[in-house]
Structure 1
């Protein structure tokens, strides 16, 4: 017996806009609060300004939020990276990240810039480049210390991924990768590696979306299966809060929609505790689906060829998850059983 409403929209993982400081409007285009809705050209100008105010190191790490650019950067020679073409691509990819923040903050330049730089620092602190590259270390020219670090990343991720708690499998009809959650497969709640495992797969989903859509889409679809979920599968509130806050602060606009299926009463109790930590301004991103509405919702969202049977009747994604194949054989920007 499930405890969810038949079809209820609630909260999002995306950055909320309610945390902006209350400041007086300025007439300048780059003021903190704008008195009018900005045009596309004005928003683009703000994005250009944000890039100009980055250091070269920050600009490079912002551009590396694109996996396609990251791989090109780490496999290009010094002379290739000094070319006009490479520099233009770096600026383009860095601006793409900047634009997500300026759009999230509705043109509030000061707040968007602060959030943007903080997100770049977060990417460096979490070594998201290393997490994305560690299973391809044999293709890279690495120093001994980095090679040893990547080996440790591989070991920890390989240990955690055996259960298939979360992985990327299939695409929706718009080319967004599906970040799939099997909530009852939780192995443990190591504070550091629960987060890194989740971010590894989140980044993989973004990379798959970038490749599948040709860069047209930059968000993902999340689908959670809560069959068999019990209270013991609920992460400690500190870990859940940290993960949700990491997404909210550092990945604005990256989650298109979240669908949660078969959520039992035990999860709804957990959700009632977690909900206050999630911004209320964009709650419509997460949808709790009953079995009655599942077929209707997913028929519009995903083709049978890209869906598991528990998502869509007749779904053909039936292959049992193989973590070794997922981590070692499949390129980072390709999903499982694709």
Structure 2
């Protein structure tokens, strides 16, 4: 498997020409890099006008590897080939290097780029990426990978320090300015022709891919200290989201939480992040703080709230769980209303983390929660209440990873171990490590509450002077609601979404028909591929597709639908493409986890059909089975099922013209 690494952008607050002068001092050897033994120039070329300078070097490295491994490999040094292309006119230096030693067993490819800062011409940007592909290495593939990762991380860390060392050296020598390149009056107008300095090789113009990267200072200021490989994971996952989610991506802090939750395993982090982004979109969680209003019963009887911050600047949330009538709240509100309230608390926590990051001048990505259990007894172990708690834990764990910095559990009574036994299996192991549990008044001694929270913000019920958290009390039974009322309330809460879900089977696409009366209307779509890969089509027909007919003998639709009843096929199997209906948008293949937005300006009135079809890999066998038989066959294989979440809207021609005028 190919390992890829991407560093953040490093910014030198010095002009490009001065940085290039410092860079050249690294050769032929550099005492600041002990493993860099020597280098020699193999070929050198320069354009006729002197604007482009190309150098090919061979570098000799003494890699920090075990002597046993070197003996088995039969080498003491590793050789790399490096090609530098300096464009003085464009103020860029592109560097490409790869290993010569063991190139048939290990392929290391590195790209570096120096360029003038796009917003400040007196600054210089540096970006670095690399890939590692170990095919075989005498059975030591894992060891070689670890050595390579260590060397790469070390080189990234040392790179900026070395340039700054030579910049300081230049300053000590009185060199603080290097003039920019300007064409001479007698230079030829074209810079394509080259003249050899040592030989006559072909001039290579490297074009590094433009990748969205992060400034190293920004990472340290807002995200915290990360290793080079962690920085690489963040940048690569961010880049993947920009490519697959059409620019609609979460903030870097949010991406980083999911990476940390999976120990920076990119594939695992990407999977849970995509699931969470789909969940947030489906339930409009991004707008929860603006749209959710807590019911009065929560204001009166919910014993929790945000309260200042801890000694590390983390937002502090206090919950008097022992004083809370969990049964009364569940009976009065229902499980889903409580869940939505907890989600609003978490959304508020994310907002407070951002604010505290700005206030304290350092990254604050999580909060501290203080839970007081005084009063906890067996009535809190009421089964529906525990079920609601487990449901809340499940949703929060999946969508707000690494947001809890510390959980202080105070005055835990004897019944607490019973509750802990019930809920702890549902809590992530990394989260459980953040729990500090105090029985009785143990929190008042050394290692207790005062180690984490300033004395002046300790609430009154714990011996402090602040009176902030309501005492709660029993919810009056007159506020209890019937099971039917609660069920209807739960359904309405989570169906308040503009998105619909549908399953797509092999041989059974999902289709949506839109009738267009006015030409030049605009059809818009926004969908997420939750599972599997699909192909999206847009068709036009002059006649209306008929919905599935019911079989009069059995009273059921003649077409097969998914178990959830959310798969609809409208195009009749007897229709012929190009005769009965036509394709108006090129097919779009969409992979699992992608978010797709698009629009189509209609040219004719009629019926437009949006279709999501199961993506069949090239070369897979096709069949001529009838659609129903094909569906029945596909139902036997779980991998033949995809799932999409979608929203479509038609903007009328008048409205579209109005929007166009406003935009222009």
Q: Which category of TM-score, normalised to the shorter sequence, fits these structures?
A: 0.5 to 0.7
Deviation of 1:57 after TM superposition, in Å, equals 9.6
Match of 1:289 in 2: 438
Q: Distance in 1 between matches of 2:266 and 2:283?
A: 25
Match of 2:299 in 1: 161
Flag the structure with more relative contact order, 1 or 2, with Cα contacts below 8 A and sequence separation at least 6: 1
Deviation of 1:58 after TM superposition, in Å, equals 5.0
Does 2:363 match 1:230?
A: no
The farther-off stretch of 283-292 and 235-244 is: 235-244
Cα–Cα, structure 1 residues 125 and 306, in superposed 2: closer, same or farther, change >3 Å?
A: farther
Match of 1:298 in 2: 449
SS of corresponding position for 1:103: helix
Cα–Cα, structure 1 residues 163 and 237, in superposed 2: closer, same or farther, change >3 Å?
A: closer
Cα–Cα, structure 1 residues 164 and 240, in superposed 2: closer, same or farther, change >3 Å?
A: closer
- Match among 185, 188, 205 for residue 349 of structure 2: 205
Cα–Cα, structure 1 residues 316 and 220, in superposed 2: closer, same or farther, change >3 Å?
A: same
Task: Check the 8 A contact 1:166/1:201 in 2, yes or no.
Answer: no
Cα–Cα, structure 1 residues 159 and 282, in superposed 2: closer, same or farther, change >3 Å?
A: closer
Does 2:194 match 1:50?
A: no
Does 2:275 match 1:275?
A: no
- Match among 207, 212, 221 for residue 368 of structure 2: 221
- Match among 367, 387, 404 for residue 255 of structure 1: 404
Task: Check the 8 A contact 1:170/1:178 in 2, yes or no.
Answer: yes
Larger strand proportion, structure 1 or 2? 2
RMSD of Structure 2 on Structure 1 (CA):
2.9
Cα–Cα, structure 1 residues 279 and 321, in superposed 2: closer, same or farther, change >3 Å?
A: closer
Cα–Cα, structure 1 residues 173 and 51, in superposed 2: closer, same or farther, change >3 Å?
A: same
Match of 1:309 in 2: 460
Q: Distance in 2 between matches of 1:225 and 1:272?
A: 18
Task: Check the 8 A contact 1:221/1:258 in 2, yes or no.
Answer: yes
Per-residue CA deviations over 1:39-91 (Å, capped at 9, x if unaligned) read 5232222222222222689577653xxxxxxxxxxxxxxxxxxxxxxxxxxxx
Task: Check the 8 A contact 2:369/2:404 in 1, yes or no.
Answer: yes
Structure 2: where are the runs of 5+ without partners?
A: 6-131, 133-141, 154-226, 473-664
Match of 1:12 in 2: none
Task: Check the 8 A contact 2:413/2:440 in 1, yes or no.
Answer: no
Match of 2:602 in 1: none
Deviation of 1:96 after TM superposition, in Å, equals 2.0
Match of 2:4 in 1: 29
Deviation of 1:273 after TM superposition, in Å, equals 1.5
Q: Distance in 2 between matches of 1:274 and 1:322?
A: 24
SS of corresponding position for 1:122: helix
Task: Check the 8 A contact 1:100/1:253 in 2, yes or no.
Answer: yes
Q: Distance in 2 between matches of 1:62 and 1:236?
A: 36
Between structure 1 and structure 2, the one with the greater Rg is 2
SS of corresponding position for 1:29: strand
Does 2:269 match 1:100?
A: no
Match of 1:242 in 2: 391
Match of 2:338 in 1: 194
Deviation of 1:259 after TM superposition, in Å, equals 1.1
SS of corresponding position for 2:329: coil
Per-residue CA deviations over 1:166-192 (Å, capped at 9, x if unaligned) read 211121011111111111323422121
Q: Distance in 2 between matches of 1:41 and 1:225?
A: 40
- Match among 273, 276, 285 for residue 119 of structure 1: 276
SS of corresponding position for 2:311: coil
Q: Distance in 2 between matches of 1:290 and 1:322?
A: 21
Q: Distance in 1 between matches of 2:440 and 2:357?
A: 30
Cα–Cα, structure 1 residues 231 and 61, in superposed 2: closer, same or farther, change >3 Å?
A: farther
Deviation of 1:268 after TM superposition, in Å, equals 2.3
Q: Distance in 1 between matches of 2:300 and 2:244?
A: 36
Larger helix proportion, structure 1 or 2? 1
Task: Check the 8 A contact 1:261/1:289 in 2, yes or no.
Answer: yes
Cα–Cα, structure 1 residues 106 and 261, in superposed 2: closer, same or farther, change >3 Å?
A: same
Q: Distance in 2 between matches of 1:41 and 1:211?
A: 27
Deviation of 1:289 after TM superposition, in Å, equals 0.7
Task: Check the 8 A contact 1:179/1:201 in 2, yes or no.
Answer: no
Task: Check the 8 A contact 2:404/2:431 in 1, yes or no.
Answer: no
Task: Check the 8 A contact 1:259/1:286 in 2, yes or no.
Answer: yes
Does 2:308 match 1:170?
A: yes
Cα–Cα, structure 1 residues 133 and 253, in superposed 2: closer, same or farther, change >3 Å?
A: same
